[in-house]
Amino acid sequence: TGESVLRLLPPEREKEETDILTLIRQGETFAHYETVRRRKDGSPVDVSLTVSPIRDAAGTITGASKVARDITRRRRAEADLRASEERFRQIAENINEVFWMTDPTKTKMLYVSPGYEEIWGRPCAALYDSPQIWVESIHSDDRARINEAARTRPVSRASHAHYHLVRPDGT
């Protein structure tokens, strides 16, 4: 309606826009640059900008093309994920239980609860370094049964098993 697109630029972002346009004049392109702009009602909106120079047939830069994508939902989802991960970490690090998570191939340890060190008497780092080392801690009377259960359990399911451990001190 005849208004300048600069209306969508928050005052604190003016230098950012000037810097982008200076680089566009030099032929550079910005892809997926994340920043903040304003909606028509003046409220802030998180956006991903792609800004490219427009050239005429001779290759002279005659303008700029800008695409702004609203990334508000993605940013909110990322913040929610961080909060969820922090809640998980708080719970996992403050219970006196042992649990771990592996990748689907069961060859890489993704997480080991701190209770592993207290209950198993072994450092968590050892399990990260060698994910199958936990089997060596199982009492010989239980090892074959637990090995078979670990081998045949579907990857998508949690498992619970009862077995005896032998700690490094022999207990």
Q: Are 101 and 113 in contact (CB under 8 A)?
A: no
Measured on CA atoms in the order 75, 81, 87, 92, is the torsion positive or negative?
Answer: negative
* pLDDT bracket for residue 37 (50, 70, 90): very high
Question: CA torsion angle for 154, 160, 162, 166 (degrees, to 10)?
Answer: 80
Task: Give per-residue pLDDT as tens, 47-96.
Answer: 999 999 999 999 999 999 999 999 999 999 999 999 999 999 899 888 88
CA separation, residue 139 to residues 57, 111, 119 (Å): 78, 23, 15
Please count the other Cβ atoms lying within 10 Å of the Cβ belonging to residue 25: 11
Q: pTM of the prediction? A: 0.57
Instruction: Give which of 40, 27, 33, 41 is closest to 13, Cα–Cα.
Output: 33
Task: Give per-residue pLDDT as tens, 113-171.
Answer: 999 999 999 999 999 999 888 888 999 999 999 888 877 776 666 677 889 999 999 99
Angle among Cα 32, 36, 37 to the nearest 5 degrees reads 105
DSSP 95: S
Q: Are 165 and 120 in contact (CB under 8 A)?
A: yes
Q: How many Å separate Cα 101 from the centre of its chain?
A: 16
